Chain A
Amino acid sequence: MRVIIFSWEYPPRVVGKLADYVKKLAVHLARNKIETHVITYHDYMTGEFEENGVKTYRVTNPVKTHISVLTWVLTLNQEVERAAANIYYRAGGSIDVIDVQDWHFIPAAVTLKKVFGIPFVYSIESLEDHRSHGANSPFNMAIKSIEWLGMYEAGKILVKSEWMASEAVRIYKVPEAKVKVAKPESERWLRTVLETYKSLREAHRSV
């Protein structure tokens, strides 16, 4: 199985707690014989590296000056697409699943789904509704609209707690069956993640 994880933070670039989680996930997947790629952002340390069995592909933003994290994210997505397309073509056109961590690279995941038919998992660390304390300025609404797109287009949604599962259902009206809970501290964590990936791959194959 070949998986690409999209994350806007990954060590050594640590912004919040997502970076360490994604690293743990990628390393565990690689140990379980999953070909694991991570596409992430770095200011200048760009290019491809292999770290602990994980193939990382760091891209930088082609547009350096920005007015908000929203515009910053939206010009970075094309670089993520470029990196993913490079992996895809090199692998002879077989990527089983893309795992998008949070909202930043949902646009890229959606495009890759439309173009190559690669299904994706939307993994939620946090939601804009909580981050912005319910603020609904056009800026917050724009981010929410991208989260909505992710909820809608994703094959499955992975969350880290029962509470977040219920929040996804409450805020975005996602069908409950679409949301899977994989608690990072639980023993079943990795197995749940893997089962989710496999279920998407099987669903995709049967189409």
Chain B
Amino acid sequence: MSDELRVMMLTWEFPPRIIGGISPHVYYLSRSLAKNGVKVYVVTCDFPGAPAHETVDSVEVYRVDSYKNPSPDFASWVYLMNMNMQKEAASLVRELGGVDIFHAHDWLVANAGIGLKHVFRRPLLATVHSTEYGRRNGIHSDYERMIHETEAWLTYEAWKVICCSNYMVSHVKWVFGLPEDKLVMIPNGVDAKEYEKSDIDLNQFRRRFALPEEKIVLFVGRLVYEKGIHVLINAVPKVLEKVNAKFVIVGNGYMQQSLLEHIRNIGLAHKVMFTGFVDDKTLRNLQKCADVSVVPSLFEPFGIVALEAMAAKSPVVVSDTGGLSEIVEHEVTGIKVYPNNPDSLAWGITRVLLDENLANKLRENAYRKVVEMYNWERISQQIKRVYEIVLSEYSKTFWA
């Protein structure tokens, strides 16, 4: 066995397959781990045009044919995909002559991770990005309970469970009844360098969204209830009483139509712009142009969009809930407002827009915090440390 630590990451999404936040998370994490001398093998689902095996920034990526079996529903597809993923990963581990640790991301790869753990007798680590209970605000059907129990099974089998905020640690501990010492908090990260690149004239770009005299208030997220977009819409007239602003709403969701109608009915359609889904580059430029970025979520495990805004040096106003409460320090790195309260949100937005000095102070502090606390270099070192602790505990067991 070589001295190099060998990790097999299991994830249902990896670029260019991007469905949610797990894909960029695993990409940045694996890349930074590789830089820190960890050999990472990513096993993931296939994607049209992406090769079955490639080396991305020293990370070995293997893509498994994941649409082989007809599936009656999403959860059955997940379990059948796991059957194929486990089979391919098993052959791969055998070819490689073994790996030290398996690291699974969410219930979507639970079966594969658990099976591999037992047949190779190596430790399994799980990162819980989100829970069925949190996503649905409770468990309401057999389908949801099955997923919930699969998540519980993964955390039961995992040596350690990683969560991205203290809020998620306490939520996961409660919802699955886990012992305290099994949980580790390691935050999510953002690559601030991505925001340094600039190949366009931002003033020119800005004109596509707002008049020069209008301040830009930016919202990025799915247009669904839990993201609190309706709270922002209700705050629009309250903000406009004090400041001339344009509200730019990025993202799609089932609430879009009713929100649009409401805005039209109160005669403010010219002040709110719905862009729909935009590409990464446009999004980053928008975040750089925003005079304030708003995250009014009612439920938020982490709040990566707040971090991205901070990396883009846009002042943030967030609701004081979940992971957002931990990322933002009130009046230091951003403004915190009461969740589900349009008056409080309007107060926060106008506070930033009317006080240039405060806005600049928030920008600088927030950017510094992102670079110091939420950089992938630091995060990957924390994760590597967890691997080392688990392996040293493992070495004392009869499996070793």
Contact = CB atoms under 8 A, between A and B. Distances in A.
Contact of B146 (A71, A82, A89, A108): A71
Contacts of A78: 111, 114-115, 118
Interface in A2-17: none
Contacts of B115: 77-78, 81, 108, 111
Interface string A105-124: 00110111011100000000
B10 to A, nearest CB: 13
Nearest to B399: A89
B80 A111 contact: no
Interface residues of A, number: 32
A64 B148 CA distance: 10
A139 to B, nearest CB: 4
Given A63-B153, A67-B143, A75 B111 contact: yes
Given A66-B146, A110-B87, A142-B80, A85 B111 contact: no
Given A62-B153, A71-B75, A82 B118 contact: yes
Given A71-B79, A77-B83, A142-B80, A111 B119 contact: yes
Nearest to B111: A78
Given A70-B72, A74-B82, A137-B72, A115 B120 contact: yes
Contacts, number: 96
A181 interface: no
Interface string B142-173: 11011001100100100000000000000000
Interface residues of B, number: 33
Contacts of A45: none
A75 B118 contact: no
A65 interface: yes
A68 B76 contact: yes
A110 B94 CA distance: 14
A111 B142 CA distance: 29
Contacts of A108: 115
Interface in B250-289: none
B156 A62 contact: yes
A142 B72 contact: yes
Contact of A65 (B68, B69, B76, B149): B149
Nearest to A70: B76
B83 A65 contact: no
B78 to A, nearest CB: 9
Contact of A74 (B68, B72, B83, B120): B83
Interface of B: 68-73, 75-76, 79-80, 82-83, 86-87, 90-91, 93-94, 111, 114-115, 118-121, 142-143, 145-146, 149-150, 153, 156
Given A68-B72, A70-B79, A78-B118, 13 more contacts: A62-B149, A63-B146, A65-B142, A65-B145, A65-B149, A71-B79, A81-B118, A111-B119, A114-B87, A139-B72, A141-B70, A142-B72, A145-B68
27 contacts: A62-B149, A62-B153, A63-B150, A65-B142, A67-B73, A67-B75, A70-B72, A71-B75, A74-B83, A85-B118, A107-B83, A110-B87, A111-B86, A112-B119, A114-B87, A114-B94, A115-B90, A115-B120, A116-B119, A138-B71, A138-B76, A139-B72, A142-B70, A142-B76, A145-B68, A145-B80, A146-B69
